Structure 1
Amino acid sequence: MSDLLATIPDQYLLQDKAPAPRTLWDVVRASAAQYPEAAAIDDGEILTYAELIQDVEAWAADLRQHGVMRGDHIGIRMSSGQRDLYLAILATLAAGAAYVPVDADDPDERAEMVFGEAGINGIFTDEGFRKLNPSTGVDQDEPHLEDTAWIIFTSGSTGKPKGVAVTHRSAAAFVDAEAALFLQDNPLGPEDRVLAGLSVAFDASCEEMWLAWGHGACLVPAPRALVRSGMDLGPWLIRRDITVVSTVPTLAGLWPAEALDNVRLLIVGGEACSQELVNRLATSDREMWNTYGPTEATVVASAAMLQPDHPVSIGLPLNGWDLVVIDGEENPVRPGEVGELVIGGVGLARYLDAEKDAEKYAPLPSVGWERAYRTGDHVRLEEDGLYFVGRVDDQVKIGGRRIELGEVEANVAALPNVYNSAVAVNKTAAGESVLVGYVSLEDPEAGFDHRAAKERLAETMPAALVPRICVMDELPIRTSGKVDKKALPWPLPGVGIEAVGLSETEEWLAQLFVDVLGVSVEDEDADFFTLGGTSLAAATLVGRIRERFPTVAVRDLYDHPRLGSLAEIIDATAPSAQNVKKRHVKPVGAGTRLLQ
């Protein structure tokens, strides 16, 4: 052992405690053998574990008849909230192939890129399975430990998303290591019902699925529209008897505390968790955990149980994972010091891109590791756990989704008539994180078409990555020649309420639009979603509205996204003579100028 390795606290080196090797197919079959009559999936109809295994084996046999081999890559692009999505994933695993998920709502261009990079041999869609390319596998056996279980693509710093391949050995170790953490006094079992609310293209969805299938519990898919509506998911959790939830802190913070009354295990991750949220949701009847981990280290590398009035930590490693914090010389730091977090152990995945893999999983000679993943995260090392400090690079988290600005910047730079550009993450007055693309124009007289730019960006990137655009005469430049991001304007110039003749309710509501979105409101036809509103922004807005009008629902905003229409709904909940409209006369058919 390296002398420097000996300086790392023992609790951070748990590779020797890795769970016994097995595959994900072993995991689900073991649960089915122990609890054959327990519910495995409930999408409105119950599918027991015995029925699940029977259906999956039939689907896997059909894949083999189509020529699918162990080692093939199978694309998954199916609607959320239905059992067929999960049967397709499990059948792919049972056949020894790797599943490659793309969200059904993502642009076709992104799906084509992901499936092309992964070299898929076939694809599951809502219409069924279709064989695409000749098999590249080795045989038609069950999965082996070192076979790839899934390939999930993350945002790329070079403008190109990165495919990350995780083996069955790593994935099953993650499932079993988490089992050693949660609810030790009353472990998860057939009486538990686990929310499935995340996109399967997001690696945190793996935690949802296997929290259920690793313990004989029931996976309960939620309709995507309901998940996106934020607070409206709260009553659904009660109606569906959900006892286990894994989500991002932003969404958890939008639900009324009583919506979690039946939840005995709440796991948050993907973004910073506030002390206020912990104080509100961590109770004597509920375990609340904060988890941390990049896709490249198999979903979760560390975890901490959260307690009210205790500092929020990202915790200690899972059994089988090694964590070391290094300084600029790549030597381990001592407790109390800050450095970059590097991960080793059983959870290490690999990039499909061999060159990128060699770069990011390079050896760490100072502690004798032949392969280690450099996270780019700055953390403070303490005896009781790690404390997140910030990012080393331009990678950010928005709504729990990891975003590398390089991918967004590459797409913004490719827009027509853009001469120079930069992308930054800013905070609105309501605390909402938003992406903003700043551009200068090659030909200012030709102008910039905001609507066309947004449509083009939406064709190539998921909605979460599409920024609003600010056109500037020129971008501030440092002496190095790079854009000075600290000098980019925020709030954006001229942002405010430009509309005239609004009613009192419209005026109040327009200011909330400005606070949440950071854009101008020009008239009563301003549409919240056209102005850049996301599902999380919608939940934030409705939360602000409910401070004055508690009966307003997120669905009201989705049904009435225009300022004037939403104001009418609000007025109807609390009529007042003060809300009489003082509108200006607007020509029939007059349009609105969009800000993005």
Structure 2
Amino acid sequence: MSLIHAFERALRENPDGAAVRTADRTVCYREFDKLSQVFAEDLRAEVAPGGFVGIEASKGLGAITAMIGALRARRPFVFLDSRDSVASNSEKVRLLGVRRLARSRDDGDVYLTDVPEAWRADESDLARGVLDVEGELCYAIHTSGSTGEPKCVLVRPAPLAAVVRDHVERLSVGPDSRTLQFARLTFDGCMTEILWTLTAGACLVVLDEARLAPGTELRDTLERFGITHLKTTPFALTATEPSGAMRLRHVINGGGACRSAVVAKWSEVAALHNAYGATETTVCNLLTGPLDPASCRDGVPLGDVVGDCAYHLRDIDEGSAPARTDGSVRRGEIVITGPAVAAGYLTEHEVRPFGPAGDGTEYRTGDIAELRDGNLYFVERLDHQVKLRGYRLDLGEIENTVCQAESVVEAVVTVESHDGSEAAGGDALVCYYLGGADPRELRRHLEGVLDPYKIPSVLERVEALPYTLNGKIDRDSLRGNRILGEDAVSTPVQQVLALVGHLTGIGDAVLDDNFYALGGDSASTLLLVAKLRELGWLDAGVRDVLRAKDLRALTDQLRQRSV
């Protein structure tokens, strides 16, 4: 069944039920049908078949009306956000040949207008590649992936309908359900939450972004509007505390790795699911059933296939063994196959289908996963693998192990220079973590479960982690906040303790601590020696640090030699 057939069935079965609720208005299915039908008629009259229409990406009834209207008119659409740069929107308009833009009036009505002059392209400069796509398109969405270079993905409607249908069934969405429209409209996560709601006769709650801020604002919104279905990010689930006043039934973690602490917290108030997918493979490809905290202590699975797709793991190491059925572990890159694979990237002159042969049959996600005991677990992005001191490391594997420790909520592992200098290159594993775990106890835990070369040199507890607009951890901000400066302490011994704390993440280092028991390594030893010399102990050497049973012995012997 197509998306529009499913929507029209919901309309017939629940004409007086609430379709869209905003902060100050509720629109029933009968009224929403009229609004979207009027817009669809205008769109058919003004945009030729196959032509893209832009939709202003502002949270409200109008954007939802325009999206459903575009589906009913069978005109592909792209969301355009005025908060993005002029250059970015101009390129989207030019590449897709967008001439008309759907905007909303204060009453929720939608009208078509010319795209803003600042975004407009000359007729001769409009790209033509999109005209060569075989079959119908549903929408275009731009993703930078891991390269930082925006790419335009073209998605078809039939695979999206299959994904939505599976979500409706697995999440038991019906007329008594209320979904919070959480994702920004320029992120494809919005597609499933909007469409699983409106094709099931449920109510979509659309509010301004201030009411969606993770923490107390989001908690208040979930309570006040009686939300039953929520799809959101690991950041929002970590930063927000569930309450007994919530009416949640199903919560979906999407857009990043799900941690055991999140499962334990949210499964107390709702069925918590983990979702996995890629923009290039029609939003979502895997979804778990309700997760059991007891079975997620060693990792959270990615789930079973949703929609019209399949997957396999591509070997990433020469000589790696093929998958076996005896419960052994198999690791590789997730490759999605089947109709869910999108039409391709729209480039300057053509549509470039996915797949090694350019035949559109598969998409290599760049995500490393591990198959064990019949379940698939996310490990790390392929381009986040690092080499440090001759070893290849999956940072996601280390993060997951840190998160298995008691009282750790979230962890981020980066490769940095010990002194924060970019010129020095990466010479240390640094782990930032949320939670109440003592860094000494955390190190002892890691020493019992990880190979020595995988244990971070620095374990730094933080009060909060920085995030990007789309809910991803901002690793650059983390690194930028950890720059070695002058220690604002009075005595040389206090300066040494502060330096050791910086190099290991143990902020309360004392003279009875051994430098290496705190996490010191060869690279941090050199920095410690250099700092000791700056403090006046000019004959300090690496052997002094290696032989000292603790920091007291180290500073004592250096003081004696300096007399």
Q: Give me the TM-score of the superposition, normalised by structure 1.
A: 0.60
1:350 CA drift (Å) = 2.7
What is the aligned partner in structure 1 of residue 258 from structure 2?
273
Correspondent of 1:350 among 332, 343, 353: 343
- 1:392 and 2:392 correspond: no
Tell me which of 19, 34, 37 is aligned to 1:40: 19
Conserved 8 A contact 2:307-2:340: no
Show the counterpart of 2:177.
Answer: 192
- Secondary structure class of the residue paired with 1:75: strand
Distance 1:259 1:196, change over 3 A: farther
Match of 1:340 among 302, 319, 333: 333
Quote the offset at 1:275 in angstroms.
Answer: 0.6
Give the match's secondary structure for 1:253: helix
The residue identity in structure 2 corresponding to 1:54 is K
Preserved contact between residue 426 and residue 433 of structure 1 (Cα < 8 Å): no
**Kept after mapping to 2: 8 A contact 1:92/1:98:** yes
Aligned-partner Cα distance in 1 for 2:424–2:350: 27
Letter in structure 2 aligned against 1:341: I
Residue deviations 1:331-384, cap 9 Å, x none? 9634521011100123111333369975742259xxxx9711000111011343
CA change 1:158–1:255 in 2 (3 A) is: closer
C-alpha distance in 2 between matches for 1:290 and 1:495 = 44
Cα displacement (A) at 1:47: 1.1
- Larger radius of gyration between Structure 1 and Structure 2: 2
Range 28-37 or range 255-264, more displaced = 255-264
Q: Which residue in 2 is equivalent to 1:303?
A: 287
Q: CA deviation at 1:257?
A: 1.8
Using a 3 Å threshold, how does the CA distance of structure 1 residues 155 and 431 change in structure 2: closer, same or farther? farther
Aligned to 2:79: 101
Partner of 1:362: 356
Task: Establish whether residue 28 from structure 1 lines up as the match of residue 21 from structure 2.
Answer: no
User: Once the two structures are superposed, what CA deviation does each residue of 1:500-523 show, in whole Å capped at 9, x if it has no partner?
Assistant: xxxxxxxxxxxxxxx9xx9xxxxx
Q: Specify whether residues 177 and 463 from structure 1 end up closer, same or farther in structure 2 by C-alpha distance, changes over 3 A only.
A: closer
- Structure 1 unaligned runs (5+)? 1-21, 138-143, 398-417, 437-460, 471-487, 499-514, 519-596
Specify the SS of the correspondent of 1:343: strand
Deviation at 1:468, TM superposition (A): 6.5
Question: 2:163 is aligned with what amino acid?
Answer: F
| Letter in structure 1 aligned against 2:152 | G
Match of 1:224 in 2: 209
Q: Does the C-alpha gap of structure 1 residues 319 and 197 become closer, same or farther in structure 2, counting only changes over 3 Å? A: closer
Among 143, 153, 156, the alignment partner of 1:154 is 143
Matched residues in 1 for 2:262 and 2:255: separation? 15
Structure 1 pair 390–464 and aligned structure 2 pair: CA distance change class (3 A): closer
Q: Distance in 1 between matches of 2:16 and 2:227?
A: 19
Question: Deviation of residue 394 (structure 1)?
Answer: 4.3
Alignment of structure 1 residues 193-592 onto 2, 5 Å: 193-228=178-213, 230-258=215-243, 261-283=246-268, 286-305=270-289, 306-311=291-296, 312-328=300-316, 333-334=323-324, 336-353=329-346, 358=352, 360-363=354-357, 371-394=361-384, 427=432, 429-430=461-462, 432-434=464-466, 491-494=482-485
**Aligned AA (1:268):** N
Distance 1:356 1:374 in 2: 20
Given that 1:230 and 1:251 are in contact with CA atoms closer than 8 Å, whether structure 2 keeps it comes out as yes
Work out the CA distance in 2 between the residues paired with 1:462 and 1:252: 14
Q: Is the 8 A contact 1:379 1:389 kept in 2?
A: yes
* Partner amino acid, structure 1, of 2:338: G
Q: Per the alignment, in what secondary structure is the counterpart of residue 175 of structure 2?
A: coil
* Residue 72 of structure 1: how far off its partner (Å): 1.2
- Counterpart of 2:169 in structure 1 is 180
Is 1:130 equivalent to 2:113 in the alignment?
yes
Worse-matched range after superposition: 71-80 or 166-175: 71-80
Identity of aligned residues (%): 25
**Contact 1:275/1:309 (CA < 8 Å) preserved in 2?**
no
Query: How far did residue 327 of structure 1 move?
Result: 0.7
- Is the Cα–Cα contact under 8 Å of residues 321 and 343 in structure 1 kept in the other structure? yes
Q: Secondary structure at the match of 1:70?
A: coil
Shift of 1:493: 2.6
CA contact (8 A) 2:233 2:471 kept: no
CA distance in 1 between partners of 2:151 and 2:28 (Å): 36
Counterpart of 2:68, as a letter, is: L
Residues 199 and 205 in structure 1, CA contact (< 8 A), matched pair in contact too? yes
Aligned counterparts of 2:151 and 2:175: Cα–Cα separation in 1: 37
Match of 1:83 in 2: 61
Q: Which amino acid aligns with 1:200?
A: L
Alignment CA distance shift 1:462-1:342 (3 Å) = closer
Shift of 1:57: 0.8
Is this contact kept in 2: 1:146–1:168, CA < 8 A?
no
- Offset, 1:321: 1.6
- How far did 1:230 drift? 3.2
The answer for the alignment partner of 1:120 in structure 2 is 98
Q: Deviations over 1:170-190 (max 9, x none)?
A: 1111101223322xxxx3211
In structure 2, how many angstroms separate the alpha carbons of the residues matched to 1:255 and 1:463? Answer: 13
Moved more, 290-299 or 30-39: 30-39
Matched pairs, number: 401
What letter is aligned with 2:314? I
Which amino acid in 1 is paired with 2:380?
A: G
Which residue is equivalent to 1:51?
31
Name the residue aligned to 1:68: 47
Amino acid aligned to 2:355: Y
TM-fit CA distance, 1:281: 1.2
CA distance in 1, matches of 2:101, 2:425: 37
Q: Secondary structure at 2:257's aligned position in 1?
A: coil
Is the CA contact (8 Å cut-off) linking 1:325 and 1:341 kept in structure 2?
A: yes
Change (3 A) 1:431 1:147: farther
CA contact (8 A) 1:76 1:100 kept: yes
Distance in 2 (CA, whole Å) between partners of 1:495 and 1:117 is 50
Assess if the C-alpha contact under 8 Å between 1:248 and 1:270 holds in 2. Answer: yes
> Cα–Cα, structure 1 residues 203 and 426, in superposed 2: closer, same or farther, change >3 Å?
farther
Q: Output the CA distance in 1 between the equivalents of 2:35 and 2:237.
A: 34
* Counterpart residue identity of residue 57, structure 1: Q
Partner Cα distance (2:360, 2:64) in 1:
36
Separation (CA, whole Å) in 1 of partners of 2:50 and 2:474: 34
Q: Is the 8 A contact 2:277 2:285 kept in 1?
A: yes
Structure number with the bigger relative contact order (C-alpha 8 A, sep ≥ 6) is 1
| One-letter identity of the residue aligned with 2:81 | D
Measured in 2, the distance between the counterparts of 1:358 and 1:86 equals 30
CA distance in 2, matches of 1:77, 1:465: 27
Q: CA deviation at 1:211?
A: 2.3
CA offset at residue 245 of structure 1? 0.6
State the SS of the aligned residue for 1:201.
Answer: coil
